[in-house]
Structure 1
Amino acid sequence: MRRAALLLPALLTLGSSVHAGAPVQVGRTVPTVVLERLPPRPAYPAVAAGCALPPGPLPTRTRAVFVLDTSGSMRGVGGHPNIFGRVREAVDRYVHSAKPDRVDLVTFDTGPRAARHYVFPEDAARWRAELGGLRADGQNTYLYRSVEGALAPLDGAGEYITTVFVLTDGIDNDPEARYTARRALAAFRARGGLDTLHYVALGAAIPRAAQTALRGSGYAAGMTLPAGEAPDLAALATTWPVTEVTAGRSVRVPLPDGTPVTLTVRGRGVRLVGAKVEGGAVRLAGGADLPAGTPALLCAPPGAPGGLPRRVPLALKLGRPPALVWLNPGADRTLAPGESVTLRYRLPAATPPVTLALPPGVQGQVLRLPGGRELAVRFANSGLGQGQRVQPSLTFPHASPLLLPAVEGPGAATGAGTDAPGALLGKIALVPALIAGGLLSLALGAWALLSRRRTRREAETQPPATLPTVEGLTYSEDRTLAVVGAGGLETAVDFPLGGPFDLGQQARVPHLSGLRLQQGRDGLRVLKMPEDLEVSLGTRLLTEGDVIRPGSLLGVAVARPARAPHPPLGSLVGLGLPLRLRADGVTLHMTGPYGEHALTLRPGITDLGGAFGASALHGLQVTPSGPHVLLASLPDGLTLRRTTDAAELRPGTYLPPEAWLELGEG
């Protein structure tokens, strides 16, 4: 009984390991088989290695390298499909869509055939011509030798994000065995962390040894297309140019919605809002304290099994720029060629140096005392066309760029009356020389007489200017001063920090002329209060000697709205006061504290009031006389003084290199 009891578990165990009905051999050891369910194989390989953020700054430019097979099989020799023309078109489409900064084109058959280099957009025409002239007439496909020859000279790892495309319809047939796929891929010694290579087999299988080398390279992948099918190279790209990310913006990414993404940042405090692409974009949060330009990398799994991770490098500028107070919002930003304007700002606190970004057509510079809270940005029109509008920007450390007010090129021509002498001279040039002299004198004399009468009539009928409505003043806690207009609109006023100033002149608001203030330790002291101007703090009227404390809101009332001491300055109002007149040959420059207007004089008499649209200058007439400018007429109430000795200029004298204008009281 005991022996039977011992055999029963053994028989049960044996029976469980064989099929039903199978013969059982007593005395023979039968192995036990244990089946376990393995975890499912991931759809894509791990991408952590390919998603590491490379050291150093991110490359700022892109480069495409094409290693193109030009053996005869590419054009149909030996029974292959004739695909060469469509491959050339695919290469050209990629260059036009991806817009790389540089393109290298290496053709090969029995080794590298020719290497051409192009810088875009300068070489665009040469690129089209030379690409169209390529011919596939080679004899062999020495593939690995040619790829090695194309990759070895590449440099600029810190400058370019490089994408290499190897395009061939054949298999390497090099008789020298030392040229292998592994050796060819290792020849890219200057490779950067974001560089990639795509081996595109056009109807031919990729050999097993080449597949192994591609997988082991860490930066290359291969794909095989059906015979006769042209590649879509843009769809193969897996690394894109650097995208700049600023505060409050989502990041547009070339990935399908629902694609999972990860973020790697050289720093802390920034994260993804959601882990998938939604609406063609992802959003970031945090990072306001990161230095501007901090590198980051968005990474997604490969788009196909065996492919490369898809990567979007980022330059983070997530901090918000400081809130600037614009001190001269009336500055004229419509600039003729050579004209300039200065925009003045006050910072909420001292900041490190800023960087000015200038679009084409504008020159500029930042003017600022070290550690100061005020800065000025001066712009000059160096190439803006008529009506062209551009927008410069300032970049503060740790912050996204701050867009500045737009600067515009000249608008439609004005002052058509000043063109009459030039048009008349053009017609007189067609008259015989003996008659032209007399007609020229008569024409200029008659035109000058009519111009004086017209100018006098325009001045007499000039409607009174619409003066800006000022309802109050604010003197904030940070000691900035602003005028409050209709609807509560505040306009900052630039004023000296330690000396007396006329508020009407500084704010260019005639209502407030004569109100003189000076900033001191306790606030703004009233030095002079005009009799017909009422400035109130609550229910109390301010008088001379009162101090306006920071944080005050003042009311303003005037008994005589037309009390402005300066007539309207038209297009010159943005220049500020005082105005200076500078003669540079036959070009006049009207210059103020905030900018400059230039006017090239035509033959004959020019009324500066009409030319600048400023009624204050009507009757101020000049005319070119050889290399000089002659003062022809000066209206009552306007004085022109030489800058060097303050001597008053009279009609009939040449303008000095610089003079200043004194506008009389009206």
Structure 2
Amino acid sequence: MQRVLVGLWLMLSIAFAQVCDAEEPLSKRQLPSSYRYVFIIDTSASMMGQGDGAGRVVFPKVKSELRNFLSRVPPDTLVTIQTFDQGPGPQRSFRLPAQRAELNRYIEGLKATGQRTYVYATLLKVLRELALSSDVATSIYLFTDGQDNDPGPLTMADVAKEYRLRRGAYDWLYYITLGLSTPPDVGAALRNTPGSRALSAAPNQVPRLSEVALRPALIDLGNLFGVGSTQRDLELRTQGGQSPLVLEVSAPSIERHGSFLEVSPEQLSGSGAHSLRFSLRNPDSLPYGSYSASLCLKAGPNTLVRPGALQVKLTYHPPGEYLLKALQTQERLDLPRGQSAALRFRLEGSEWAKEPVRVSVKGLPEGLEARLNGEPGPVTLRPGEELRVELRNNGFGSGKMASPALSVQLPAGSIGAPEVPLATLRQPLTLGEQLLRWLPWLALLLALLLLLWRWTAAQNAPWATVTLVGPPPKCQETTRKLRGKRPVDLGKLFEQPELRGIKLTGSRGQNPQVEYPLHLELKVGKNLLEPKDRIQMGETVTISEGGKELGNFSLGRIRGR
């Protein structure tokens, strides 16, 4: 009998290993964020070999398997233990890993001394008390070495109906019989119940429980046109016994065209990240378009795999070409502090540019703010959609320049510019800032003007006075100032044409030099002056022509100098 049961168990293992669980949800549902384990344990005396006629003691092995399976669980896992015999027994819950020591002590203290096996009543109680949660994956494991012998009207069909009503997306129910075949009513009720499985262990044996959790639920291969293969990572978390995981791709929409999608390696084991390579075979016969497939994850019957299948999507077409086109071009933009400017773009694409692109702003200095379609960004755009970029200057620096750009994250395998420059921005100087910037130059200019003025003033400064006394009998007296370093013509100075040619050249503190034409005579007293002679201040110089006196002049000092 034992050999028959072992053979049956092996056949069940092979059968389950060949099934890709089509009932398991794929990418449309979020993967669970936490886990809950419920162990429903038969504590009737037969579990300790009493009354079964064979003396098979399996209860200690059940407890050992519980400790082994729960030795490594995700953080914040809830574990509930529900015992039963003639009806549901005590129930205790533990939060792991914080309460692991308490859990182990409780498992160690469990005893199997009951008389009957009320399986269905206990299952219904547990199912009705479980709080429904879409983000918690619940695994229910029932261990029993007998069949339900409750005289009441409950059936396994009632249990299966309640389970179908309450089952979450990633919940599983394992009905494990120890040392006997699965009861026919149990097998019939669970055969068409999603997320359930009946296991039968050989006499005096307890199956090694194993769970494998995978992420992500959706594998996007991108565009395989001209590539043929691509690599993606798959994260595995194993718990309990180590069971190899067999991978197989199911892709009817691809295979009907004579093409095939393959995955390698075909077998995984152990926790951690695993790199998978997906290869598209015979792609020339595949029409352009988008395709989906399933990555089936197969393991033995005592290994629970979540999810049982992963959705794989891919496209096969020439690369999409994208262009983020500026609707208004402005190579340079003056943006005063506190003001904003808006630029508009439109995303254009070729026939196969159907995926969205992700757009953000790069190269923003501190003080320059950008909003994309009213949001801080990044934003997602599809071909045909417009993008409004609002730039606000909160003060990135007077006179400074900034050259921000749009960063365009394109879909894998597509063609397009990864960066689109925005206008070169400048924060113009205010009038006060401009004055401050030019202040050193203005000061220098003022100093130069002052020097020029002083030089000009020095050039035209008076250095003496000259008093002209006209000829007798009037002897009209007129006084003028002698200025500059150039020779001063007395004829022009006093507007006397007959005196033209008499020139005085001098400077402050020096006796001037005199020049005159040869037809005139200049005397100081009785002494005749020669051209280039110098005249003393206060001397009277008589001017005559042909013995006729034309007047005289004398020089005086400038007062106050």
TM-score with structure 2 length normalisation? 0.44
Asked which structure has the greater CA Rg, the reply is: 2
TM-score with structure 1 length normalisation? 0.37
Q: Which has the higher strand share?
A: 2
